[in-house]
Amino acid sequence: MVLRLMEAKETEQRVSDAIAAALGVEVEIIDADLVRVAGTGKVRAGVGNRLLRGLVNKHVLQTGKPVFINEPGYHPICLSCPLTGTCFYRAYIVYPISAENKVIGTISLVAFDDEQKRTLMERNKTLSDFVGRMADLIVGKVVESKMIRERIVMANRLEAAVDSVYEGVMAIGEVGVITHFNHSAERMFSIKKEQVIGKPLQDVLGDNMLLEALREGKGFKAREYLTNFQGKRLHFWTTAKPIKSEKNDTAGIVATFKDFREAQKLAYQIVTTQEMMDFNDIIGVSKLIGEVKAQAAKIARSNSTVLIVGESGTGKEIFARAIHTASTHGHKPFVPINCGAIPEHLLESELFGYEEGAFTGARRGGKPGKFELANGGTIFLDEIGNMSLYLQAKLLRVLQERQIERVGGTQVMPVDIRVIAATNSDLQDMVLRGRFREDLYYRLSVIPLVIPSLRERREDIPLLMGHYMRRFGGLLGKKIESFSEEAMKMCLEYKWPGNIRELINAVEYAINLEEGSTIMPGSLPPRIRNGKRERSMPVTAHDIKPLEQLEKEAISRALELYGWTEEGKKQAATMLGISRATIYRKINKYDLAQDNSEE
């Protein structure tokens, strides 16, 4: 049986290629001696070699039962493997190939990257049934004596399997004639397969990238494909893989189609790593935070642009997410982007996307930007004050016309999005200094929302510290029940220049250091303890200095600590509890420079 399985390896390789092209995962077929007889992608080079370990394949060969491994290296079968924790497989389904009540090999669907793993995780049961049918197909090839019957069985089962795939699948023969058009392709193109099968592809779709791939014998992956088909504009992500003959000639092309909108949803799931939040997730009982939450809840009902203003660390993004969740499009994408964390030359393509060939290094097929990904939902532009005047002009056009144009592109795309911007800068001051467009400022601040600093709502500090004490205690496996009275007093008296972000950091620090069940002052960060000691020292007339001198010294010390770079000034402003615009104004006021920062 083993020899006969090996003798059918050419057919098995073609089946593997077809399955991989249709499903977007890799395929591996192993015989009873653990010799790889067919494979695609990374394992293709190892066809003909014996597996060095093959623990999972051995298990399936011995038990005759399929196995789904979603965390290679950590499954009980994998524990004796020396590659535990470092396996290059991301996930795989291994199914037995059985004939005459004997397991003669295995067939596997293999994931080597996150996208392939997601496919296996989300469609595990369907794919397990599918790979089982593929195992039966291979058995049919092994046990049937007549080649014609083997090919009929294989073709029929493969066609049924491909028709069950959610993506549109089109097969094109070597002369450019359409040979297969699955049910999903019928749905996407709104045409019956009987109307296209047997016709030249050029007559159906015109001269396109699939014909080019057929002529060159080269496939491609995830290219954007736009076409006008029977009066309708269709937008797909398309992947094509060539089918090779025994002589390694191109015998045809298998192409898969994914609806662009559905691909956008998938991209949204990738870029949105944090779970959505509502107003109940914003902790606080103070009158001030209650008023802001009530105002934000009213804002959520409209689709107007919102500008959230507040110091760094006050929770501006949490408010943005809560506004989105409470809106009528809360089930649509929420796409955040930090305008201050991305270099200016990259920010434009991140926001607007780009077309193929737009610049050196541009990905083939182009790439959608954050505005496209947020279509129908909300885009959150954090640190909007860091955006260049050039990009401010492009953003203004988006707000006015609700249209975008990719970098290097000529086609205008309509977008239906809500824009929420946030800043810790004084935008009005930046407008006066010519660093921010006045017309954009008024477009963004249709509905301003000011988030109070933590020192303005001190009654919320115990609630916040208790919440994060329980959270980090659970994460770190520590049974910590409370803060001591003195430790809590220190925290209440501290100025919290970093606001809630700094508070979270301080609680995590204390949980790590505390060995008892109550957090004592000694477990708090030194800056909080030192702040308490300095306030408790007796004050003399010698200690009193003019406010301007104290301010100048504080700014000088902060710049000496964090540096005079743009990032250093930003960090210094954050720790001083002022905006970046304010620190620039103070540097000019006190004539501060790097050479005299110690004066």
* pLDDT tens-digit readout, 492-524: 999 999 999 999 999 999 999 988 899 999 999
Same domain for 53 and 196, yes or no, is: no
Q: Which of 410, 427, 450 is the last residue of a domain?
A: 450
- On whether both 284 and 427 belong to a single domain, the answer is yes
Quick one: average pLDDT of 77-102? 82
pLDDT tens-digit series, residues 311-327: 999 999 999 999 999 99
Q: How far apart are CA 162 and CA 176, in angstroms?
A: 20
Which residues, 6 or more positions from 220, have their beta carbon under 8 angstroms from its beta carbon?
Answer: 209, 213, 238, 239, 240, 364, 365
pTM of the model: 0.50
Whether residue 552 lies inside any domain: the answer is yes
Lowest mean pLDDT among 149-163, 228-242, 321-335, 415-429: 149-163
Is 588 found in the same domain as 505?
no
If asked whether residues 463 and 517 sit together in one domain, one would say yes
CATH number where 235 lies:
3.30.450.20
Q: Are residues 248 and 150 in the same domain?
A: no
Domain membership of residue 264 (yes or no) is: no
Same domain, 218 and 310: no
Q: Say which CATH number the domain at 489 has.
A: 1.10.8.60
438 & 292 share domain? yes
Total domains in the fold of the chain: 5
Residue 439 inside a domain? The answer is: yes
What is the span of the domain harbouring residue 505? 454-536
Of 132, 162, 192, which residue constitutes the final position of a domain? 162
- Tell me: do 386 and 291 sit in the same domain: yes
- State yes or no: pLDDT of 275 exceeds 70: no
| Residue 130 belongs to a domain | yes
> Domain containing 558 — which CATH number?
1.10.10
Cα separation, 12 vs 93, in Å, equals 17
Asked if 327 and 440 sit in the same domain, the reply is: yes
Q: Is residue 267 part of a domain?
A: no
Half-sphere exposure in the Cβ direction for 12 (13 Å, CA): 30
* 265 belongs to a structural domain: no
Q: Which of 146, 162, 178 is the last residue of a domain?
A: 162
> Roughly how many angstroms between the first and final C-alpha of the chain, as a whole number?
88
Q: In sequence order, what are the beta bridge partners of 71?
A: none
Q: Are 475 and 318 in contact (CB under 8 A)?
A: no
Contact yes or no for 273/317 (Cβ under 8 A): no
Same domain, 14 and 138: yes
One domain, residues 31 and 122: yes
Q: How far is CA 264 from CA 67, 91, 377, 387, 512, in A?
A: 32, 24, 12, 25, 41
266 occurs within a structural domain? no
Do 142 and 20 share a structural domain?
yes
